[in-house]
Copies of this chain bind each other. A is one copy, B any other.
Amino acid sequence: MNRVQVRTKVWLEVDGEPLIGDGRERLLLAIERGGSLNAAAAELGISYRKAWSQLQQMEKHAPFALVERSKGGKGGGSTHLTSEAKELLQRFASVKFGLNEMVDEKFAAERPE
């Protein structure tokens, strides 16, 4: 019974719809760093289309605005996180924090042999 690993996944939901998980957390963080959705997608190595869709889904269910967007103009446009989005990231991070270690411990303790 070796080579077996335990894995966990945590996410937040609103009305039963996914709001934020690991992938979307990465996206928001990259947006914060890069100041645009386009830059974020490039940094993450995913298509702009995919990043846009993910953000779309998040905003569809979030009870508050996550980003402020602008099109055209200087630099072509931009996307920035709202303060609520930053709070959400904080909260999500602290929920995740230490979870894997907790589960690993539990798993190791349960190990036969």
Contacts and interface: CB of A to CB of B under 8 A. Distances in A.
Interface of A: 1-15, 19, 63-64, 84, 87-88, 91, 94-95, 99, 102-103, 106-107, 110-112
B6 A9 contact: no
A63 B1 contact: yes
- The A interface is mostly helix, strand or loop, or mixed, namely mixed
11 contacts: A1-B63, A1-B64, A1-B84, A4-B14, A7-B11, A8-B8, A8-B10, A8-B99, A9-B9, A99-B106, A102-B102
Contact of A12 (B5, B15, B19): B5
B2 A63 contact: yes
Given A91-B110, A110-B94, A112-B87, A63 B103 contact: no
